[in-house]
Amino acid sequence: MNQGFRAGALPGLSLTLGVTVTYLGLIVLLPLAALLWRAAGLSVAEFLAAVGSPRALATYRLTAFSALLAVTFNGIVGLLLAWVLARYDFPGRRLLDALVDIPFALPTAVAGVALTAATSANGLFGPALQGLGWQVAHAQPGIVLAMAFTSLPFVVRSVQPVIEDLDLDAEEAGRVLGATDLQVVARVILPVIAPSLLAGMTLAFARCLGEFGAIIFIAGNRPFETEITALLIYIRLEEYDYAAATAIAVTVLVAAFLVMLAANGVQAWQQRWLGRNHR
């Protein structure tokens, strides 16, 4: 790119930078600053009481554990989908590819009511699930299902391009040297796609931690059992307990930052990794 010493030739830096910073400040940073300011105004005891109450702790455990299960599921299913879409030519491939984007397009509240209706006792899968003895709607598996649904595309879309770019010669070489299919997958393919898989799973995890709309319909929302953190914030607001809502919201904000920091770390590692593999 010719952005070096000639960059000064283009006009509009002060205008566009001014618009960007003003807009970003007003729309995003000012509300966040207000949130942090309000939280900073709480006494330490107040903050800890809100953030560390047994009910809040139960929501963190539930949210994080469910997100972990959902992301594990998506790691497997997302890899399968990405592989099939990237590697094979078959009728309906483009339709399948389009279907993967449904969770991105479908409003979360709609996804929530639909998943609940599909898995409740008189729903589409209700009888089958009951036959298996699985309670999904209004129980923790429902939370995992809603999280898995909303975050699946993150994994697929992060792994798919990497599989498309795989070096087929390396696989060929492995086979010529007598490796079995499984050995090729384990030794040649997985090491290359692992970083992108991990990056996609981290993004999915962050999304799961913050998800609200899809989950509250299916969760059952019983305190200490099926209440997620985002809902507890909402409930505290409805109780006009703004201090507690603010404190928990800031906690969620910080947790999200830590996850994204980890994601950036993984991505940087992925870049280096790919750089090494691509000469």
Q: Which residues contact 277 (CB under 8 A, 6 or more apart)?
A: 167, 192
Residue 261 Cα to chain centre, angstroms: 14
Q: How far is the CB of 217 from another protein (least distance, A)?
A: 7
Q: Which of residues 13-72 bind another protein (CB under 8 A)?
A: 13, 15-17, 19-21, 23-24, 27-32, 34-35, 37-38
Q: Any contact of residue 235 with another protein (CB under 8 A)? A: no
Is the CB of residue 192 less than 8 Å from the CB of residue 22?
Answer: no
Q: What is the dihedral of CA 101, 103, 106, 110, to 10 degrees?
A: 160
Q: Which two tokens stand for residue 46?
A: 């107040």
The distance of closest approach from Cβ of residue 78 to another protein in the complex, given in angstroms and rounded to an integer, is 10
User: Residue 164 has what DSSP assignment?
Assistant: H
Contact between 262 and another protein per CB under 8 A = no
Q: Which is nearer to another protein, 60 or 217 (CB)?
A: 217
Q: Which one of 136, 143, 189, 259 is in contact with another protein (CB under 8 A)?
A: 259
Between CA 107 and CA 89 the distance in angstroms is: 31
| DSSP-assigned letter for residue 132 | T
Give min distance, CB of 225 to another protein, in A: 19
Site for another protein in 143-172 (CB under 8 A): 148-149, 152, 160-161, 164, 168
Q: Is 3 in the site for another protein (CB under 8 A)?
A: yes
Please choose, out of 44-52, 54-62, 100-108, 133-141, the segment that lies near another protein by the rule CB under 8 A. 100-108
Q: Which is nearer to another protein, 48 or 124 (CB)?
A: 124
Spatial contact of 53 and 248, defined as CB atoms under 8 Å apart: no
Tokens of residue 29, six digits: 């940073």
Q: Are 228 and 208 in contact (CB under 8 A)?
A: no
Query: Is residue 244 a contact point for another protein (CB under 8 A)?
Result: no
Q: Does 227 bind another protein (CB under 8 A)?
A: no
Q: How many residues interact with another protein (rule CB under 8 A)?
A: 94
- Report how far Cα 121 is from the mean position of its chain's Cα atoms: 28
Q: Which stretch binds another protein (CB under 8 A): 42-50, 171-179, 193-201, 254-262?
A: 254-262
Min dist CB 252 to another protein, Å, is 5
In the structure encoding, which two tokens stand for residue 54, read together? 């047994």
Among 135, 212, 241, 273, binds another protein (CB under 8 A): 212
**Which of 199, 209, 206, 204 is CA-nearest to residue 66?**
209
Question: How far, in Å, CA of 266 to CA of 250, rounded?
Answer: 24
Segment near another protein (CB under 8 A), from 45-53, 188-196, 244-252, 271-279? 244-252
Q: How far apart are CA 225 and CA 269, in angstroms?
A: 38
Residue 89 touches another protein, criterion: CB under 8 A: yes
User: Segment 105-134, which members bind another protein (CB under 8 A)?
Assistant: 105-111, 113-115, 117-118, 123-125
